[in-house]
Structure 1
Amino acid sequence: MRTTFMANANTIERKWYVVDAAGQTLGRLASEVASILRGKHKPTYTPHVDTGDHVIIINASKIELTGNKLNDKIYYRHSQYPGGLKSRTALEMRTNYPEKMLELAIKGMLPKNSLGRQMFKKLHVYAGSEHPHQAQKPEVYELRG
């Protein structure tokens, strides 16, 4: 009788990928990166184990949004004090905090538990085209579409 392969922490081999966000649509890029972080692109994917790879995203400041979302999409956060609701448009976020914009989109596509937090730690986002992870010899990942 054959048994289904179940990955564990000892059998996982992690790779490093570089993704160029220049000219890419935010949601489409985020969903593909979230899939890599979860490990769903591997045949050894196991739902209860973090089988994902590290992803480096460069040129986050050149991400695109469709339609009029740059002006209409609003990011909210709260200071936990009464009346402490703060808001920023997507244009302000892309200008001042391009890494945060991508991180929020990808984090929303990962599981909301300890495994998801562990997966999120493998994401490295940079606004420019330079990154400090050359020693890991990352492969260039071509996005579909």
Structure 2
Amino acid sequence: MKTVSVRQQDVAHEWYVVDATGQTLGRLATEIARRLRGKHKAEYTPHVDTGDYIIVVNAEKIFVSGNKETKKIYYRHSGYPGGIKSTSLKSLREAKPEELLEKAVKGMLPRNPLGRAVFRKLKVYAGDTHPHGAQQPKTMVLS
């Protein structure tokens, strides 16, 4: 039996909506990263973008276990000496709730051009509305 390598033009990308209300951050992020890559499909090919588009709503209502709300710190650096900045998960959630899930998913994707292309298919919104009604997304329930 031969291994079939799918071509980019033969891939059908579907649109899905996920409600993040009450979902655990890491568990939701792993499933989203898996579906963005296309690993849930039988025709998955590592060097081809076979994944689907994922729309996440209610990102502000995502659940974080333990005391990570205050203890987890996100760091970034400006590139200048002494330019390290830190933000707690709580303050990041208050300022930009979408970025919380985006950072978690981006860390689970490959660090190459394909990973960046796959990440662009993730759309995260803090509220319960999104502007992608024209794509007729299907509702995906993650346990």
TM-score, length-scaled by structure 1: 0.96
Structure 2 counterparts to residues 63-82 of structure 1, below 5 A: 63-82=62-81
- Per-residue CA deviations over 1:67-93 (Å, capped at 9, x if unaligned) read 000000001111112111111110011
User: Aligned partners of 2:100, 2:76: CA distance in 1, in Å?
Assistant: 13
Determine the structure 2 residue equivalent to 1:21: 20
Q: CA deviation at 1:26?
A: 0.4
User: Aligned partners of 2:100, 2:75: CA distance in 1, in Å?
Assistant: 12
User: Aligned partners of 2:63, 2:92: CA distance in 1, in Å?
Assistant: 12
- Per-residue CA deviations over 1:85-117 (Å, capped at 9, x if unaligned) read 111110011111111111010000001111100
Residue correspondences, number: 143
User: Aligned partners of 1:21, 1:31: CA distance in 2, in Å?
Assistant: 13
Task: Please state whether the residue corresponding to 1:55 is helix, strand or coil.
Answer: strand
Determine the structure 2 residue equivalent to 1:11: 10
User: Aligned partners of 2:113, 2:92: CA distance in 1, in Å?
Assistant: 27
- Per-residue CA deviations over 1:38-59 (Å, capped at 9, x if unaligned) read 0011111111111000000000
Any gaps of 5 or more consecutive residues in structure 1? none
User: Aligned partners of 1:115, 1:62: CA distance in 2, in Å?
Assistant: 30
User: Aligned partners of 1:82, 1:100: CA distance in 2, in Å?
Assistant: 26
The runs of at least 4 consecutive aligned structure 1 residues that moved more than 2 Å come to none
TM-score, length-scaled by structure 2: 0.98
User: Aligned partners of 2:140, 2:40: CA distance in 1, in Å?
Assistant: 12
Q: Aligned-pair RMSD on alpha carbons?
A: 0.7
Percent same amino acid at aligned positions? 57
User: Aligned partners of 2:23, 2:93: CA distance in 1, in Å?
Assistant: 13
Give the letter aligned to residue 93 of structure 2.
R
Residues 1:50 and 2:49 are matched in the alignment: yes
